[in-house]
Chains A and B, each alone.
Chain A
Amino acid sequence: MAGGITSRWLRQFVQSSLRPNQLCALSVTFRAQTVETQSLCTSCNKHGRFGHRLVKLWEQPEYTTKPLPVYRTGGRLPTKVQHSNEIVPGRVWTKKLGGGDSREWHWVDRSRLTAEEVNAKSYYQEKVIKVQHDDSRSGMIALVAGPKKERWILATETMEAGTIITNSAKMIPDAEFVDGDAYPVGMIPSGTRICSLEFVPGKGAQIARSAGNYGTILRKEGVRVIIKMPSSREINVDEKCVAVIGKVAAGSHSTKWGSPAQKRAHGIRPGSGRKKMGDDRSTKKLTPVAPMVVIGDKKVLQRSDALEE
Chain B
Amino acid sequence: MRTDVLLLGAVFGYLGLLFLVAAWGDRRAEQGRSIIGSPTVYALSIAVYCTAWTFYGSVGRAAQFGPSFLLIYLGPTVAMLLSPFIIRKMVRIAARQRITSIADFISARYGKSTGLGALVALISLITITPYIALQLKAITVSHAVLISYPQSAESILYNERFWMDRSLWVALVLAVFIILFGTRYLDASERHEGMVAAIALESLVKLVAFLAVGIFVVFSLFEGPGALFAQVAETPALSKLMHLESVPGGVTGWVGMFILAFLAFLTLPRQFQVLVVENVDEQHLARASWLFPLYLLLINLFVIPIALAGLLLDAGDPDSFVLILPLSAGLEGLPLLVFIGGLSAATGMVIVETIALSTMVSNQLVMPLLLRFKKLHVGSTGELAHWLLRIRRVAIVLILLLGYLYHALIGDTYSLVTIGLVSFVGAAQFAPALLIGLYWRGATQRGAMVGLIAGFLTWGYTLLLPGFAQSGWLDTALLTDGPWGVSWLTPYALLGLDGWDIYSHSLLWSMLINASLLVGISLFTRPTPLEQTQAALFTEALHPNLPTTALQRGQTTQGALHELLVRYLGLNAAQRVFKKHSNHFELDQQDRPASDDLIMRAEQALAGSLGNASARVLINSVVRGEALDIESLLSMLDTTTQTLEYNRRLKQKSDELARIGNDLQSANNRLRELDRLKDEFVAMVSHELRTPLTSIRAFAEILASQPGIAEPKRQHFLSVMVLESQRLSRLIDEILDLAQLESGRMSLHAMPLDLAALADHSVETVARLHEDRNIRLDVSIDERPAQVVGDADRLEQIILNLLDNASKFANPTDPRILLRLYKKEQHVYLCVEDNGVGIAENARELVFEKFHQLQANDQLTSQRPKGSGLGLPISRAIATHLGGKLWVEDPQVLKGACFILELPEASID
Partners in one complex: no
Enumerate chain B interface residues (CB-CB to A < 8 A). Answer: none
